[in-house]
Amino acid sequence: MRLEYFQLIDRVLDLNLADRTIRSEATVPTQSTIFEGHFPGRPLMPGVLLIETMAQTCGWLLLATMGFTRMAFLASVREAKFRTFVTPGQVLTISARLDHEGSGFAVASAKIKADNKLICDAGLTFRVVDFPNAEMHQQMCATAVQIGLSTEALTDG
């Protein structure tokens, strides 16, 4: 995780386009300015960043499903539950499932576990639109490769 750059997914563990599921992994950094304020003397991963972590995992699943032809933007979050604290250094496993692919939107659900214990879960809705520009498209494709969402992974399904 590079919190300051909002790059919250370290790598994709597996992707199944047939089942429309994905699993990713992310390690909470041991040091971050965020922990200086959240909270002094008791560093905790903010819940909003856990939502973003789930959203990014869903986003990668959506992009892969669409063959990186369109972009997904988070539109709403439903029934997010934070069941336990997340602290620096913890390794998180994020699972997501695409529940519905509508016209210009998609609905997904996601959860995060650490040490096989459920940390949080939520339902997320995304707007699906054309990439705003070529630069963003290129950057998303490059990041996908960095986190292991390779062309081979896409075709393997």
Contact set with other proteins (CB under 8 A) = 75-76, 100-105, 107, 125, 127
Q: Which two tokens stand for residue 108?
A: 């997904």
Beta carbon of residue 105, minimum distance to other proteins (angstroms, whole number): 5
Are 139 and 111 a contacting pair, CB within 8 Å? Answer: no
Element holding 134 (H helix, E strand): helix 134-146
Q: Which two tokens stand for residue 68?
A: 């990186």
Nearer to other proteins, 37 or 104 (CB): 104
Active-site position among 23, 38, 97, 137:
38
Coil, strand or helix at 156: helix
Distance between CA atoms of residues 117 and 57, nearest Å: 18
From the list 129, 79, 83, 122, the residue with the least C-alpha distance to 103 is: 129
- Whether 38 is catalytic is yes
Q: For 27-50, what is the HEC assignment?
A: ECCCCCCHHHHCCCCCCCCCHHHH
Beta carbon of residue 118, minimum distance to other proteins (angstroms, whole number): 25
Q: Which two tokens stand for residue 30?
A: 């041991």
Beta carbon of residue 59, minimum distance to other proteins (angstroms, whole number): 16
Active site residues: 38
